Structure 1
Amino acid sequence: MFRMPVLVVDDLHVSVEGKPILQGVDLALEPGRVHALMGPNGSGKSTLALSLAGGPGYEVTGGRARLEGEDLLSLPPFERARRGLFLAFQYPPEIEGVSLREFLRLACAERGQGFCEFQRNYPQAIARLRMEAFDGRELNVGFSGGEKKRAELLQLYLLKPKVALLDEPDSGVDVDALRLIAGAIRDLADGGAAVLIITHYPRILDHVPPAEVFILDGGRIVERGGPELARRIGEEGFEVVRG
């Protein structure tokens, strides 16, 4: 069944410190579906996510990106977030002096959620991600790699974005955490979010089969397909998509 894409990227070119990284990326993300972006190191996967989120130092030199038809690239980063774009970082920062709960309360308020709604949803989300012990802790301070990734998913759960860009949510996590994260991602998509999992390896995609897989290499999407494409990459490497 065709679904109108919520995020459309058309011929996107991005440079970092004057060096071209993305050289004409085209993709579309549909609501309620999991998509995967795979590619070797240096192919531009994180650059794509950070440039869409408005990260500093990422110069868009051509192309466009639209979120529900609106020009995304003309908006400052905080407005992109308000419109419903969320980036889960590959290396989430530690923020001292800011509690996880208070950070999420303020972020949810910016997304239009009232205090009573937050009070109702927060305990449920904490329990779903098994983060009860982190309630009241400073944001990501002293968290392990896997705990930081779960904290990112906790934010997603509560903020309910339209588009979730997940930069290597499977890196630095053990098997149990991987299953937990995968389940949370499935819940997000079931709730209507368009999800893009950015990863090197197909192991998380075994737990969250994507509707579509994009292969990024040399700054361009060189192939796309279904879950079987991810399995081919896992078995044979990225050489199978290189001419």
Structure 2
Amino acid sequence: MPKSKDDMYGDHISHQFNDDLANLKNDFLKMGGLVEQQTIDAVNALIDGDGWAADEIRARDRIVDNMEKDLDEEATQLIARRQPAARDLRLVIAVIKMVSDLERVGDEAKKIAKFALTLAEEGHAPRGYVEVRHIANHVTTMLNEALDAFSRLDSTQALKIIREDKRVDEEYQAATRTLLTFMMEDSRNISRCMSVMWVLRALERVGDHACNIAENVIYMVEGEDVRHTPVEEAAKIVGP
């Protein structure tokens, strides 16, 4: 019986090598779960006007930074000790790249928490929270599915995430137009609405990072770099 994509990275003679690769994948997924929750918590703090929660989220960013350093060291040591080739090297290189994306998602969550704290002190903005909730749900789902695609080595699901990025961009542009129109009608709300616009921008960036992770999943599975490649061309690489 042919090996599935799920175990294509676990068939080495050295059990320790298998364990090293499994640990790298698991540690990456732990970091992914953390930054996903950080983003969700930051958005909730914003909508609830919870300054204490927002401040606590900002403090937790140090954990994300430390996990990034640990994963970079883990990947570097794996290369030095095992000298992986072909698909194994693709996995390690992809993880190094994706760890950077996860750290930046953590940074975006920290930014959202910063504006949540500002709005908790200044008072809720009169508009924009529905759009924030909608786009936040969209991009955190993308991030979750990108992590799942990595876990299952599913390039087909990764391609679906890449397709979603255009929808997020459209939703972000529509939301910013709505807020800009509102600010032009009532200049008293400019400061608070601008905070919401920066939150929307941070969420749009989370979607970009989820897309980057999906591109790296395709690289891991298919051996093709689809960055800066039209979606239609990437679809040909992934296949039906």
Q: TM-score by structure 2 length?
A: 0.31
Q: Which protein has the bigger strand share?
A: 1
Question: Based on CA coordinates, which of the two structures has the bigger radius of gyration?
Answer: 2
TM-score with structure 1 length normalisation?
A: 0.31
